[in-house]
Amino acid sequence: MPTLLLKCKTQSIGFECYLETTGTIRNMNNNLYWSIFKNLEKELIHLSNEIHIDDNQLNIYSIKITELLIRTVVEVESISKELYFIMGGSKPNNNELFFDTDCINLIETNWLLSKKKVLVTSPNFHFSQVDNQILTPLKKANKRGNSSADWLKAYQAVKHNRAENFKKGNLKNLIRALAGLYVLNIYYKDISYDLEKDGTGINFDANVGGEIVSFP
């Protein structure tokens, strides 16, 4: 019986779901990341019920949005390191392990995270501009400093000097950070889906448990 595996060996721009009859499914009873992602997602959805989120609202910033941005990227750091070790990475001798230039960089080498696209599909988000509808959230996430992704630069800015960088704790950076965390969570879940008679995957739920973004 065919099985749809969300494996991360693709070289395509989006997520390639391909048929395979064998594979190891990670024990999701021990998944410490997905429930936290869902809580963060739920809080952003709650915000979207109070703020009309469209192309013109992405620069809105607040204490709550900044808090969510920080919590989201802390999760990105944690799950990136977990994936790094799952993939066979090792901690450099007497050196600090960096989640971006070490961990995400190794994941990028194998899975081309910088090319992975997601769609913003929640009915609470009213975007008309394509670059807000289709995101590549992990592009440049393996870089540091000025070369890094904007949401990572914003995270570092509000973490180290919040008073001067408060405006960077905005919706645009939060949405992209959460989209990046979603992508990493899907790779971490590594779940097999039994297609039964739907061998082509036509009825496959592209959201894979998410409520804000989905696969293209």
What tens digit of pLDDT does each residue of 27-54 get? Answer: 555 788 999 999 999 999 999 999 999 9
pLDDT recorded at residue 31: 85
Beta carbons of 8 and 110 less than 8 angstroms apart: yes
Q: Average pLDDT, whole number, for the chain?
A: 85
Can you tell me whether residue 17 is helix, strand or coil? Answer: coil
pLDDT for residue 5 is more than 90: no
- Burial (CB count within 10 angstroms: exposed 0-12, middle 13-18, buried 19+), residue 108: buried
Confidence of residue 95 (pLDDT cuts 50, 70, 90): confident
Q: Which of 108, 61, 63 is nearest to 89 (CA)?
A: 108
Phi-psi region of 136 (alpha: psi -120 to 50; beta: other; left: phi over 0): beta
SS3 content of the chain, % helix, strand, coil (to 5): 50, 10, 40
- Selected residue with higher pLDDT from 53 and 215: 53
pTM of the model: 0.84
Distance CA 37, CA 160 (A): 24
- pLDDT > 70: what percent of the chain? 78
Distance CA 103, CA 182 (A): 16
Q: What is the mean pLDDT of residues 124-129?
A: 98
pLDDT for residue 6 is more than 50: no
pLDDT for residue 16 is more than 80: no
Confidence of residue 201 (pLDDT cuts 50, 70, 90): low
pLDDT recorded at residue 102: 95
- The tally of CA atoms less than 13 A away on the side-chain side of residue 66 is 18
- Selected residue with higher pLDDT from 69 and 95: 69
State which H helix or E strand residue 203 sits in: none
- Selected residue with higher pLDDT from 17 and 154: 154
Per residue in 128-163, pLDDT (tens digit) is 999 999 999 999 999 999 999 999 999 999 999 999
